[in-house]
Structure 1
Amino acid sequence: MIKFVNAKINLGLNIVRKREDGYHDLETVFFPVGIESGMPQQPEAFDDILEVNTDSNQLSGCRFQLMGRRIDCAPEKNLVVKAATLFIQTYVKKYDDLSDMGMFNIILDKHLPDGAGLGGGSADASFTLMTLNEITGEKFGRNELCNMAVKLGADCPFFIYNTPCFAEGIGEILTPVEIDLSGRWLLIVKPAIHVSTKEAFSGISPKEPKFDLRFLPDLPLERWKDMVVNDFEASLFPLYPKLAELKDTFYESGATYASMSGSGSAIYGIYTDGEAAKAARDKFISTYSGVWLFEL
């Protein structure tokens, strides 16, 4: 079974308070991107490829092979392996039965960048859970899969939904929203900068947001620039001036809205003019290796 794993961007991201458990409560809108990449309408590929097969002649477990872009991570620490292990443990605990399993042979062909705020690793984990659930007869519902997913990462539950969602808590409390960006163009640039989640949160100062992202669907795109912010920019842009320069370049090239995604370091721009978006892409390609353009 083969699955094409998409990414996400954050449409605004507010860090509203620090919790007693050390985590932060946030508010954001997750928006899936790359769902149809590689298709005729979206010929530019922007996804990971997950292949899962089973060997019923072997005892339950997981064999994992990583292809494509290399990841500086031991196999047992890869989120795909963690997801498969968690799924097996949860399945056995609930059903006390391994007859539907056998050995899962998992191949991940990695293309989505990491350290970019695009959720590539989280998406791999969630797609692994959903694929194993499908293979074993869909015995877990969406809520059960989300409960598993949040143990792997705060934004993992979003990819179980994989539709625009307003997120609260640490990112796991999700409410689907209607965000219509059809006809616009999305340009993503990933510079050669890696921002860890720990580094991003270390400099954050929680505060009440000036705009409630629940109302984002009602706010015209032309007003986002003045109303919709990513709080991580305030602490990370001084550390990485190139990111601030990149965001400015998006606006100079005609983007209606530009922002860092998640905790960085990818910057994206939303364009209403397709020709301006294509011209910006051609300019960025001369400087950056990670550049992707989609018509939404």
Structure 2
Amino acid sequence: MILFPNAKINIGLNITERRPDGYHNLETIFYPINIKDALEVVAGEELSFTSSGLDIPGRVEDNLCIKGYHMLKKDYPHLPPVKIHLHKNIPIGAGLGGGSADAAFFIKLMNQQFKLGLSVDDMTNYARKLGADCAFFIESKPVFAFEKGDEFETIRLDLSKYKIVLVMPDVHISTAEAFGGIKPAMPKDSLLELIAEPITEWRKLIKNDFENTIFKNHVEIRGVKASLYEAGAIYASMSGSGASVFGIFEQTPDLSFLEAENEVFYDV
């Protein structure tokens, strides 16, 4: 059985406070986009994980799909070993949630294939155990996310009449670097209120807290955002902790001038 995990973008991101457990509380808007991986799971003689497409860093045993299998196996001992194959297309280290999406879709796939009878709430709770934003991908619909990014309030946000373009510079942003310059603070106005404003006002109202530090350290990312506005974007922002930057346009723009040094995904 095969499913196609999708990426997400963050529209706004406020780091509101540091938690006693070392995580940070935040608020953001998660919006699904159509850049996708392909995930296949079949019963096998032993648990295995293989991949194609983009190279996946780290040890296989640390992959969230493998961790997800062991998590489910504890509660469902009858589960057979499985062969997992992931074709990786969602850029890694881009603030797009690709690894989290793969983990969430793995839970959904296991539920379907082995008839575990898990509800959406059950799958969401399992996903929360694997990572802060994994739970979003169980339903993959626009939400206002808060706490660690794993508590949600559904919002009415439809950007289908616009063209979303994603630009991925050849830059890696570590978690330590992203949070190194953050000073948590409650925003004057909540994103839940600001996202209801006309999209033409977002440029003035909605920000990503990570941009201040990352733009100082990586002028090329700052330059991509500026280029998207110069090309006519209504709104542009870095997604998550970067390094990807997206622009929302009324019509598909010509960004060929960015393609020499960046990967560009149109109409996502």
Tell me the TM-score normalised to structure 1 length: 0.87
d(CA) in 1 for partners of 2:260, 2:25: 39
Q: 2:204 aligns with which of 210, 226, 232?
A: 226
Q: Residues 194 and 205 of structure 2 are in contact (CA less than 8 Å); yes or no, is this contact kept in structure 1? A: no
Q: Residues 26 and 148 of structure 2 are in contact (CA less than 8 Å); yes or no, is this contact kept in structure 1? A: yes
The structural deviation recorded for 1:217 is 4.3
CA-to-partner distance for each residue in 1:81-136, whole Å, 9 max, x for gaps? 111221212323xxxxx1xx322111101111111000001101111011001112
d(CA) in 1 for partners of 2:39, 2:157: 28
Moved more, 8-17 or 147-156: 147-156
Q: Structure 1 stretches of 5 or more lacking a match?
A: 35-45, 93-97
d(CA) in 2 for partners of 1:197, 1:122: 15
Name the residue aligned to 1:12.
12
**Between Structure 1 and Structure 2, how many residues are aligned?**
268
d(CA) in 2 for partners of 1:200, 1:90: 36
Q: Residues 53 and 106 of structure 1 are in contact (CA less than 8 Å); yes or no, is this contact kept in structure 2? A: yes
The structural deviation recorded for 1:197 is 2.1
**What's the Cα RMSD here?**
1.4
Q: Residues 23 and 170 of structure 1 are in contact (CA less than 8 Å); yes or no, is this contact kept in structure 2? A: yes
Name the residue aligned to 1:67.
52
Q: Residues 195 and 202 of structure 2 are in contact (CA less than 8 Å); yes or no, is this contact kept in structure 1? A: no
Q: Structure 2 stretches of 5 or more lacking a match?
A: none
Q: Residues 178 and 217 of structure 1 are in contact (CA less than 8 Å); yes or no, is this contact kept in structure 2? A: no
d(CA) in 2 for partners of 1:78, 1:203: 28
The structural deviation recorded for 1:168 is 0.6
Tell me the TM-score normalised to structure 2 length: 0.96
Identity %: 40
AA in 1 matched with 2:202 = W
* Structure-to-structure mapping, 1:120-199, within 5 angstroms: 120-199=98-177
The structural deviation recorded for 1:64 is 1.1
The structural deviation recorded for 1:272 is 1.2
Name the residue aligned to 1:286.
260
d(CA) in 1 for partners of 2:174, 2:65: 19
CA-to-partner distance for each residue in 1:51-100, whole Å, 9 max, x for gaps? 11124xx4xx52211111111211111112111221212323xxxxx1xx
The structural deviation recorded for 1:215 is 2.1
After the TM superposition, list the runs of 4 or more consecutive aligned residues in structure 1 that deviate by more than 4 angstroms.
none
d(CA) in 2 for partners of 1:198, 1:122: 19
Name the residue aligned to 2:26.
26
AA in 1 matched with 2:265 = W
